[in-house]
Structure 1
Amino acid sequence: MAAVELETKQAQAIADIVGHTGSAHTGPLGRLQDVYAAFQERREALGLANPGTVENIANEVQRGVFLNNLSFSGLRAELTKAFSAAPLFQVSHALSMGSAVQAPYAYTALYGSPKVFLQANLDNDLTFGGRFNYRWTPALVSKSSVQLSSQGNMVSLENDYTGSDFSASLKAINPSLLDGGITGMVMASYLQAVTPKLSLGIDAFWNRPAMAYPPELNVSYAARYKAADWMACGQIIPDRGVLEASYWRRLSEKVETGINCNLAFAGIGPGGPMAGLQKEGSVTIGAKYDFRAASFRAQIDNQGKVACLLEKMIAPPIRVTFSGEIDHKANAAKLGLAVAIDAADEAVMESQEQAGASAGSIPF
């Protein structure tokens, strides 16, 4: 009986020690854990979603409606051959004529999986461009890109962290320590969801092209409000006196509209000219209409430039794109016509349809 009582007392003493050390209410560290746990509970109770990134704060307008990265001139043909869908592996040949931007010929190879993304591009001028992205965790992705050409080289390193209700990014372009100090460009941004519809963010841009020049730092502040069928956002750079605002609205299931306003008041910030206040501004209005097998975009700005883009799916593997632009102020016009053919075996096409839901997990 005495042995049993001794064992019971020892077990009770061990339990007391474990309970004392494991309690979150003892010591400074325990109190901090308690505060953090309570903060996380209230944070999760708000039901906040990830707001995106500061770089893509106006994604619905700039990429969803406008023609910023889609407009082109001349004739273009592209042939893409997909060899696999999971993982994604494809190559493409692009031919261009009558364009001052596109190379006459370019070859591209692409590989993508849930963890790795690789892309390489080489044109007839021996200009090489490559990208390598790696997903460390579901939230952390590292991105790198390189461009080698006769005009100059560029290297970009980036780390993106996507939280449940925030996004953070750190990016460096052509960083170097060879000149006796840090040179290049460094950008850091953070966007936090405050309410289910409102997000606030900050973006910092540091630039020093060479040690002979003093470093320059610009900080911008961003806000975004996203409702069910409309979005409004804005960014301001006090040091440069720059204000940019965008508004997007979905009129129906097939029609979207957007407007972007950019105002620059040179002379307000510390780096402004000594001549006094100078005002510059631009306003762009655009719309997008989705047909059953086509998409039409059009936009106009205050400089008298009108542009449109029509994408038509002739058949599942063939897509035709028409681009047109008229600049009334410069009395110039541009026309472009492109044909794209996506070739794949039947087995690959079936696997693409099955893996369509997981395609978004590739760290592009």
Structure 2
Amino acid sequence: MATLIPPSPAASTTPPAAGSNPAATEPQKVDYLDLPCPIPYEEIHREALMSLKPELFEGLRFDFMKGLNQKFSLSHSVMMGPTEVPSQSSDVIKVPTANYEFGANFIDPKLMLFGRVMTDGRLSARLKCDLAENLTLKGNAQLTNEPHMSHGMFNFDYKGSDYRTQVQLGNGALLGASYIQSVTPHLSLGGEVFWAGQHRKSGIGYAARYNTDKMVATGQVASTGMVALGYVQKVSEKISLASDFMYNYMSRDVTASFGYDCILRQCRLRGKIDSNGVVSAFLEERLNMGLNFLLSAEIDHKKKDYKFGFGLTVGE
């Protein structure tokens, strides 16, 4: 009689295929009223710059930082190495130089102040102050003995829920504004305008940035003739590959570069090679708590020039 009993509805249902997930096949809906806030317009290439443009130097460098309390610290830097002198010939002319830099830093959750003074007479300062919850003031200035080389600039950065806008004021009647908006959870678009009253020049630019957990692609174009493209691929949590393409259709200058960024347990290694025949590498190794060793190298095959530097950083 068991053969006469009809099967239950649950038993007669055809099981789903192996590995299938009905919920995963449905496209995830995008809530355009809840998009992430993009990064500032001026930092859209920051991942590529971290890999392709490390702070290279030549000669000897020694940095010492001493914290006086939780908010205030002092820094001392000694740099000895050659400095390139501009010349009309293709030969590279270097003059040995040495200078000392003294700095003072004040770091607070809502206020950061950085000041530097060098033995050659240069004085620089940076400021970051949170005027409100979403409004930040940034400023930087530099004073030198050389004529027309001193400058100053203030930026007002407003952070919205899914957009950022910035207004710039600088010496020489420099005015600028930028805006960047998240269009999707991964794509953001923006633009900028500026006016340099001293030189009677104006410009406009556009930018796009697409980022995921594994890659970042950026593009920027401006009326000044600059076209910049960048791409960063995150191979793993500690290894990234980066490339960029720079083109100026006014001067017809083209540069392409490829680089890498490796973060190991005790060191960080960055390097690149570009279309001009320049190969560079930068090593930052942590020898002990508060003690870092630096190695910098650059070879310019076109100019037949090389730069090598090593340094120590003491203090956190």
What TM-score, normalized to structure 1? 0.72
- Residues 1:228 and 2:225 aligned together: no
Structure-2 residue corresponding to 1:273: none
Distance 1:259 1:167 in 2: 26
CA distance in structure 2 between the aligned counterparts of 1:84 and 1:163, rounded to whole angstroms: 34
Instruction: Report what 2:15 is aligned to.
Output: none
Counterpart code for 1:60 = E
Letter in 2 for 1:59: R
Superposed displacement of residue 255, structure 1: 0.6
- The answer for the alignment partner of 1:359 in structure 2 is none
1:94 is matched with 77
Q: What residue in structure 2 maps to residue 140 of structure 1?
A: 135
- Tell me, yes or no, if structure 1 residue 192 matches structure 2 residue 176: no
Residues 69, 290 of structure 1: alpha-carbon distance in 2 compared, 3 angstrom cutoff = closer
Shift of 1:100: 2.5
SS in 1 for 2:41: coil
Aligned twin of 1:280: 253
Alpha-carbon distance, 1:103 to partner: 5.8
Asked whether 1:293 is paired with 2:266, we answer yes
> Could you say what secondary structure the match of 2:48 adopts?
helix
Displacement after TM superposition at 1:118 (Å): 1.2
Q: In the alignment, which residue of structure 2 is the partner of 1:307?
A: 280
Deviation (angstroms), 1:84: 2.2
Shift of 1:297: 0.5
**Partner of 1:326 in structure 2?**
299
Q: CA deviation at 1:135?
A: 0.7
Deviations for 1:281-303, whole angstroms, at most 9, x for unmatched residues? 11011101111010000100000
SS of the residue aligned with 2:265? coil
CA RMSD of aligned residues (A): 1.9
For 1:39-60, what per-residue CA distance to the aligned partner results, in whole angstroms no more than 9, with x for missing partners?
xxxx976431111011110111
Contact 1:46–1:196 (Cα < 8 Å) also in 2: no
Q: For 2:308 and 2:137, how far apart are their aligned partners in 1?
A: 38
Is 1:257 the counterpart of 2:241? The answer is yes
Contact 1:79 1:94 in 2 (8 A): yes
Higher strand share: 2
SS at match of 2:152: strand
CA deviation map 1:100-128 (0-9, x unaligned): 28861000000011121111111112321
Separation in 2, partners of 1:196, 1:103: 49
User: Matches of 1:186 and 1:246 in 2, distance apart?
Assistant: 27
Do 2:191 and 2:206's aligned partners in 1 also have CA atoms closer than 8 Å? Answer: yes
Question: 2:224 — aligned with what?
Answer: 240
Q: Secondary structure at the match of 1:147?
A: strand
The answer to whether structure 1 residue 126 and structure 2 residue 121 are counterparts is yes
C-alpha distance in 1 between matches for 2:118 and 2:253? 38
Equivalence for 1:205: 194
- Which segments of 5 or more consecutive residues in structure 2 lack a partner in the other structure? 1-29, 85-96
The equivalent residue for 1:162 is 159
Shift of residue 252, structure 1, vs aligned partner: 1.0
Counterpart of 2:44, as a letter, is I
Aligned residue number for residue 337 of structure 1: 310
Work out the CA distance in 2 between the residues paired with 1:227 and 1:299.
Answer: 23
Deviation, structure 1 residue 279: 2.8
For residues 45 and 173 of structure 1, what CA distance do their matches in structure 2 show? 36
Please list every run of at least 4 consecutive aligned residues from structure 1 whose deviation after the TM superposition is greater than 3 angstroms.
43-46
Instruction: Please state if 1:217 is matched with 2:202.
Output: yes
Flag structure 1 segments of 5+ consecutive residues without an equivalent. Answer: 1-42, 175-182, 267-277, 344-364
**What CA distance in whole angstroms lies between the structure 1 residues aligned with 2:157 and 2:174?**
17
Counterpart-to-counterpart distance in 1, 2:290 and 2:248: 45
Letter in 2 for 1:123: M
